[in-house]
Amino acid sequence: MTSLPESKPGAKKLGLVIDLDTCVGCQACATNCKEWNTSGHMAPLPDRHPYSAGQEGVWFNRVHSYEAGDGEDGRTVHFPRSCLHCETPACVTVCPTGASYKRAEDGIVLVNTDMCIGCQLCAWACPYGAREFDDDQGVMKKCTLCVDRIYNEHIPEERRVPACVSTCPANARHFGDLGDPDSAVSKLVAERGGIELMPELGYKPVNRYLPPRRAPKADAGPPKDAGPLPSQITNPLLRWVDKVLSR
């Protein structure tokens, strides 16, 4: 059924919160996503010419790098882009076959690749480029929010998060229920002013991006409670202790 499930207040809305302040653009999330999902729910993810010019394949997560602003306010922002598991995903409603669907129980948007006819209208309907076509199988593929990990009782509980979240070395990716205002991710979004991408299109994405924090003023000096600088400590033993404790 490509009609959307009725949205009830307090319903579970699983999604990601991505911290653009701490993302270092290392591509580990994209790599681990590919690694997990090429043998996961939507497996395989094709790769054409993987070791030569013309490399091309399906990825659920792509990490862009941007420059935003100018002068002192300007900064580099690494920007992972993947499915936002929207509340009103047109990719689902345009699907003529019922292959695309949004799960009522947790809001995850999935494709049943056994029913997909490969018309690719869903990719046109997605503003965020979350869907990529698999030329080998002739069907559409997309992020599953690692539906085969997050409920998987065969892996330790602490690892039941999407592959991109588990691998992030900067802890820039957070996973949880954005429908619950008391969840850790919802609190993070509230605290940091999490943003929606292209809200003007009305897709109501569930995933949120935490904007980069304002850079401190260059002439602000050391914080008031800062101790002496290492160079100001004359005793070598104390200097070593300071160094160890400052790590």
Restricted to residues 77-106, the positions that interact with another protein (CB under 8 A) are: 77, 79, 81, 90, 92-99
Burial of residue 23 (CB within 10 Å: 0-12, 13-18, 19+) is: buried
Residue numbers 15-34 binding another protein by CB under 8 A = 20, 25, 30
What stretch of H or E contains 15? strand 14-19
Give DSSP secondary structure letters for 66-99. Answer: EEESSGGG-EEEEEEE-----SS-HHHHT-SSS-
**Which SS3 state, helix, strand or coil, does residue 239 take?**
helix
Using CB under 8 A as the binding rule, the residues of this chain from 171 to 200 that contact another protein are 195-200
CB 26 within 8 A of CB 169: yes
> How far are the Cα atoms of 34, 64, 137 from residue 45, in angstroms, in the given order?
7, 20, 10
Residue 64: enclosing H or E segment and its boundaries?
strand 62-68
Amino acid 90 reads A
| Whole-number Å distance between alpha carbons of 143 and 108 | 9
Least Cβ distance, residue 109 to another protein (angstroms) = 14
Are 17 and 176 in contact, with CB atoms under 8 Å apart?
yes
Is 100 in contact with 122 (CB distance < 8 Å)?
yes
| Residue range at the interface with another protein (CB under 8 A); choices 36-44, 127-135, 174-182, 225-233 | 127-135
Residues 152-171: x/- map of binding to another protein (CB under 8 A)?
--------------------
Among 138, 169, 181, 227, contact with another protein (rule: CB under 8 A): 138
List 23, 132, 161, 176, residue binding another protein (CB under 8 A)? 132
Q: Which of 24, 35, 65, 238 binds another protein (CB under 8 A)?
A: 65
Among 11, 26, 104, 121, binds another protein (CB under 8 A): 121
Single out the residue of 12, 41, 75, 239 in contact with another protein (rule: CB under 8 A).
75
Stretch that binds another protein, among 138-146, 150-158, 218-226, 229-237 (CB under 8 A): 138-146
Candidate segments 31-39, 135-143, 161-169, 178-186, binder of another protein by CB under 8 A: 135-143
Which lies closer to another protein via its Cβ, residue 12 or residue 62? 62
Q: Single out the segment in contact with another protein by CB under 8 A; choices: 33-41, 66-74, 178-186, 229-237.
A: 66-74
Q: What is the size of the binding site for another protein (CB under 8 A)?
A: 72
Bridge partners (DSSP) of residue 195 are 209
- We find the least distance from the C-beta atom of residue 227 to another protein, in angstroms, to be 33
Helices and strands, counts by H and E, the chain: 7, 11
